[in-house]
Amino acid sequence: MYPTGPLLAPHESVEDCTVGGFHVPRGTMLFVNIWAIQHNPKLWAQPDQFKPERFHNLQEERYGFVWLPFGAGRRGCPGEGLATRIVGLTLGSLIQCFEWERIGEEMVDMREGTGLTMPRAQPLLAKCRPRPKMLALLSQL
């Protein structure tokens, strides 16, 4: 689980409340540590392993507030619906139009680097070639 950043947008409590057994006074600024939630082994089996199949039959209700790639509530990303549709189309188009291969024999390094947007420790390097059947189509773009 690789959130783009470690924290969601800040929230301010509008009244005194209790969160996880802690008293939170009115006006307190709260940050949700999405990285910690998505790397918690009590919530996710092998959270540090790349396992896309865990989302094969993703149902929002099943995950609740454990899976928050776009935040939640009033401060949730307004582009969530568009993004979830476009990512699949874009990835499918890249796979359909190009042949991909790794540069080198080593496995992809999934460690996280440092920075505001949590980049990979080592960038993914890959070589792509247009598929022969796609050359005519791609040349028109």
pLDDT tens string, the chain, 141 residues long: the values are 677 788 888 888 999 999 889 999 999 998 888 888 888 899 888 888 888 888 776 665 555 667 777 777 777 788 888 988 898 899 999 999 999 998 888 888 888 888 888 888 888 889 999 999 888 887 887
The answer as to whether 12 is a domain residue is: yes
Q: Tell whether 4 is covered by a domain.
A: yes
128 belongs to an annotated ligand binding site: no
Closest CA to 6 of 28, 39, 54: 39
Residue at 87 is within a domain: no
In a domain, 20, yes or no: yes
- The pLDDT of residue 65 is 66
- Domain presence at residue 120: no
Residue 122's pLDDT is 86
Residue 138 in domain: no
Give the H/E segment covering residue 44: none
State how far the Cα of 6 lies from the Cα of 35, in Å rounded to an integer.
Answer: 5
The helix or strand, by DSSP H or E, that contains position 18, with its residue range, turns out to be strand 17-19
For position 1, what pLDDT does the model report? 64
Measured CA to CA, the distance from residue 30 to residue 19 in angstroms comes to 10
Domain count, the chain: 1
Q: What is the C-alpha end-to-end distance of the chain, expressed in Å?
A: 34
Report if residue 2 sits inside a domain: yes
Q: Does some domain include residue 9?
A: yes
Residue 56 φ/ψ region, left for φ over 0, alpha for ψ in the -120 to 50 degree band, beta for the rest: alpha
**What domain range is 7 assigned to?**
1-77
